[in-house]
Structure 1
Amino acid sequence: MTDPVPLSGLLPLIGGAAAEIDLVPALALAATLLSFSAMFSASETAIFSLQATDREHLKREGLPGALVEALRSDKRRTLPSILIGNELVNISLSAVFASLILTLSPTRPWLNLFVATPLLILFGEVTPKTLAMANPRRAALFLARPLTFWSLMITPARWLLMLIADFFTRIFGVDTSPRSEVMQEDEVRQLIDQGSKAGAIGANERALIDRLFDFSDTTVSRLMTPRPDIIAFPINTPLERLIDELQRSRVSRVPIYQGRIDNILGLLLTKDLLRFKGQINPGSGELRALLQEAFYVPASKRAADMLKEFQKRRSHMAIVVDEHGSVVGLVTLDDLLGELVGELLDEQDEDSQDAVPVGHGVWTVIGSMDVDDFQERVGITLPEGEYHTVGGFILDRVGHIPEKGERVIHEAHVFEVIGVDHRRITKVSVRPLEPVEGEEVAT
């Protein structure tokens, strides 16, 4: 009988040399190598899928928690250690399986492909990674010690391999320097959720934080005053009328234009006009000297970027234009701040509500109310169009500046204009359409 090949001769079997081995030691070795493969696969998933909340808990776990954090924070040490270990184990495991197949079935060496590969994928990769993903904190704590030991043991080999790898990455112009970590939005939201459940963050604070996240995704077009609702005046407006209008509208600054609103000359501050009104001769053109330069922004500009722009320019108002350069609205610093804290202020100021229920399905709505807010609050869906406000919806339907009392019928509801200020619809009454009413539907 032929003597079995010692286990130390397994690696040469990768080349295909047939040999007989003792089955029990070989199977035990295969199981051990497979468990090491599972360990390396699970450790990679567990350590690098830890969320911020998991890492906070790990700080209270003593030495194991400190080991996990050290492994997680030093990716240039941990990842190569895992990859080196995994490759060595998988190569050795392939050699063991090849020897087993050649011993049990010398004429069918191709069976190794259908034995080793499924076992490696199932028990060396998929299953351990799935288990680690299900509970990464527990898996990381369990695997931290053996992985740290392995990482220290192969330090010289890892250093040499990383030196070679860095050489090739520099050839391709890849920067391998470590980068600072930035906490992702979902991680911050998880911390906020935990703080809310624990009572550390109140309802108002939570609402403000949520608004901050939403604010970063909001565009200027969502917050701006649309073109039909802009309070602006031509340069030749009589001085006394201009003063009266500014005092009545209670705005701090307005655009001044020549001819049409697309030709804005600048912004006029109400306080400047009132301060120098006695020194300005009507029609003399001296009003131009009081104008501040207006700056323009695209409607697609992010609200967060707009806030930075206001801070940089030390300004409070910007003109919003479309891709053709036409004025579509204006946005102010108050619009941005109102988006951040508006709901909190509304809870304290009932008079600031955009839509007030009167009773029996009747609502009083301000013309500048945002369409999305109107649909959510009142429950009436408005068709899509080139408008952003309820007043803009009515203007789109009637095709002209409506007078008080004009009506539009939509979805079995009557929209009646009950307040008009120059070219702006200031207030609208919305009520169910009664069967006896016979108004013509504006389309």
Structure 2
Amino acid sequence: MGFTLLDDPNLGLLFALLIFFIICSAFFSSAETGVMTSNRYRLKHKAKLGDKNAQRILKLLNQPDRLIGVILVGNNTVNTLAATIATIIGQSLAHQFGISNDTSVGIAAGVLTFLLLIFGEVGPKTYAATHPEKVAAFASYILPVLLKVLYPAVWLLNLVTNFLFRLNQNKHDKKDKLTREELHTILQDVFLPAKHRNMLIGILELDNITVNDIMIPRQEVIGINLNDSIDDIVDILRGTHHTRLPVYKGEINQILGILHVRNATRFLGQENLSKTDIMQYVREPYYVPESTPLQAQLLQFQKQKRRLGLVVDEYGDVQGIVTLEDILEEIVGEFTTNISEHHQDILPHTDGYFMMDGSLSVRDINRSMHWKLPTDGAKTLSGLILEQLETIPDGMVGLRLDMFHIEVMQIRDNTIKAAKIKRLELVED
């Protein structure tokens, strides 16, 4: 019989110590998972409301090197002590049952490994992963105390680790920040009414959309041509539903300014109305580069105290107009006053097709129909079809674009005036 460390051990005390160390191992394992996987943004919100648990957890998370250090020091210490106790128990039992020390140590190591895996690692970490804030709140009472008790060991561990791996060289760059794509993904999963979620996503998308994507093209711009007669100008002012109109002479590139229709009430009733009278109320034009992101343009509208801009290309030619309302619609959706106007250009047919005006914006079609027609190229339906055909068709022609079947119905002046579209997956369903 080999030599044993304890000839008459108190097995009850040893088993109690072993269980205690396994519980400690479970605590450190669950604390690591619980604290590190807690939702930091929820914690920050709770902390601002005065939640003490959240404040303690955030304080731990703000020092990740110390947090991980104390957990690792503590966990490795209790695991080592558990292994020592298990060895002593194994040797004691070997002495009583006549088993060799080597065999008893092997059995003790195997049993302890199993116990630590189940009760000290997998079980606690699984529970902490499903209840992170609950576990983190409990751990936040104990870990700060252990940080003070084990500070010398933790400090030395962090000193060596930081020196070897240069962990502090980008310390100020380790801020917990989200990219736009990450925030977009979070908003997709967050528990919010769909309308509110879509508004937040719309705000994030403003930087990816340019003025050119949402502008009213010059062919559709309603304005006041000073070459027209006074009677025609008055008819336009009285019949328009727009609040602001561009004023030009001859053609849209000869812009003179912007007229607020509200000011037109001051001169519409006067006798012998002249174009000079109209020009007294015209404000200087405000030009916008077509490549300006909507986020920047929204801020410019606010800064310039404007609600309408003339969109120009790199050569200074007017391409269309953009309004503050157009940008806001990208965030909140179409305003009620304009929904019927857009839907008049989208007419359903009994065969599953929708008749659409060729001048419709692809973005408006996608928004109204909940479709995903490509928006990275042409801006209008007519442009999208011509882009796919790569030629101007001589007559009615059909084509397939992804999961959509399109039939050209009317062509005039080298543009497609009307087309029918059907989403094929609707038929398959």
TM-score calculated relative to the size of structure 2: 0.60
1:217 maps onto 2:208 in alignment: no
Distance 1:318 1:106 in 2: 87
Name the counterpart of 1:29.
17
Which of 407, 410, 413 does residue 414 from structure 1 map onto? 407
Shift of 1:220: 2.4
Taking a change above 3 Å as real, the CA distance of residues 384 and 2 of structure 1, as seen in their structure-2 partners, is: closer
Q: CA RMSD in A?
A: 6.0
Distance 2:177 2:386 in 1: 52
Q: Provide the secondary structure at the position in 2 that maps to 1:152.
A: helix
Deviates more, 1:267-276 or 1:108-117: 108-117
Contact 2:410–2:419 under 8 Å retained in 1: yes
Contact 1:71–1:77 under 8 Å retained in 2: no
Name the counterpart of 1:296.
289
Taking a change above 3 Å as real, the CA distance of residues 257 and 294 of structure 1, as seen in their structure-2 partners, is: farther
Q: Provide the secondary structure at the position in 1 that maps to 2:129.
A: helix
1:270 maps onto 2:259 in alignment: yes
Contact 2:36–2:61 under 8 Å retained in 1: no
Which of 39, 44, 54 does residue 69 from structure 1 map onto? 54
Taking a change above 3 Å as real, the CA distance of residues 306 and 42 of structure 1, as seen in their structure-2 partners, is: farther
Shift of 1:340: 3.0
Contact 1:41–1:124 under 8 Å retained in 2: yes
Distance 1:77 1:21 in 2: 46
Which of 318, 330, 335 does residue 326 from structure 2 map onto? 335
Distance 1:99 1:36 in 2: 14
Residues 315-354 of structure 1 aligned to structure 2 (within 5 Å): 315-318=306-309, 331-343=322-334, 345=336, 349-353=339-343, 354=345
Shift of 1:335: 0.9
Taking a change above 3 Å as real, the CA distance of residues 29 and 311 of structure 1, as seen in their structure-2 partners, is: same
Distance 1:349 1:379 in 2: 14
Contact 1:4–1:22 under 8 Å retained in 2: no
Contact 1:98–1:112 under 8 Å retained in 2: no
In the TM superposition, what whole-angstrom CA distance separates every residue of 1:242-263 from its partner, at most 9, and x where no partner exists? Answer: 985975876635497999x9xx
Distance 1:72 1:231 in 2: 58
Name the counterpart of 1:174.
171
Q: Provide the secondary structure at the position in 2 that maps to 1:417.
A: strand
Distance 1:267 1:41 in 2: 73
Contact 1:47–1:140 under 8 Å retained in 2: yes
Which 5+ residue runs of structure 1 have no aligned equivalent?
7-19, 60-64, 197-205, 281-285, 433-443
Contact 1:296–1:318 under 8 Å retained in 2: no
Shift of 1:269: 0.8
1:279 maps onto 2:267 in alignment: no
Q: One-letter code of the match for 1:174?
A: K
Name the counterpart of 1:134.
130
Distance 1:215 1:108 in 2: 67
Q: Provide the secondary structure at the position in 2 that maps to 1:415.
A: strand
Distance 1:319 1:2 in 2: 96
Shift of 1:215: 3.2
Contact 2:289–2:312 under 8 Å retained in 1: yes
Taking a change above 3 Å as real, the CA distance of residues 148 and 312 of structure 1, as seen in their structure-2 partners, is: same
Name the counterpart of 2:380.
389
Shift of 1:207: 1.5
Shift of 1:85: 4.4
Residues 107-118 of structure 1 aligned to structure 2 (within 5 Å): none
Q: One-letter code of the match for 2:275?
A: G
Shift of 1:393: 2.9
Distance 1:159 1:95 in 2: 19
Name the counterpart of 2:303.
312
Q: Provide the secondary structure at the position in 2 that maps to 1:217.
A: helix
Which 5+ residue runs of structure 2 have no aligned equivalent?
92-99, 268-272, 423-429
Q: Provide the secondary structure at the position in 2 that maps to 1:430.
A: strand
Distance 1:241 1:398 in 2: 41
Distance 2:354 2:175 in 1: 59
In the TM superposition, what whole-angstrom CA distance separates every residue of 1:163-199 from its partner, at most 9, and x where no partner exists? Answer: 9969989974634999899996777777744xx5xxx
Taking a change above 3 Å as real, the CA distance of residues 229 and 393 of structure 1, as seen in their structure-2 partners, is: farther
Deviates more, 1:91-100 or 1:112-121: 112-121
Q: Provide the secondary structure at the position in 2 that maps to 1:298.
A: coil
Contact 1:223–1:335 under 8 Å retained in 2: no
Percent identity for Structure 1 against Structure 2: 19
In the TM superposition, what whole-angstrom CA distance separates every residue of 1:62-104 from its partner, at most 9, and x where no partner exists? Answer: xxx9553242232268853564144133134235426756957
Which of 85, 88, 94 does residue 74 from structure 2 map onto? 88
Q: One-letter code of the match for 1:214?
A: G
Shift of 1:336: 1.0
TM-score calculated relative to the size of structure 1: 0.59
Q: Provide the secondary structure at the position in 1 that maps to 2:360.
A: coil
Contact 2:22–2:78 under 8 Å retained in 1: no
Contact 1:226–1:388 under 8 Å retained in 2: no
Contact 2:247–2:259 under 8 Å retained in 1: no
Distance 2:250 2:116 in 1: 77
Name the counterpart of 2:420.
430
Shift of 1:58: 8.8
Q: One-letter code of the match for 2:201?
A: F
Name the counterpart of 2:426.
none
Q: One-letter code of the match for 1:36?
A: C
Contact 2:86–2:112 under 8 Å retained in 1: no
Distance 2:23 2:419 in 1: 73
Contact 2:353–2:420 under 8 Å retained in 1: yes
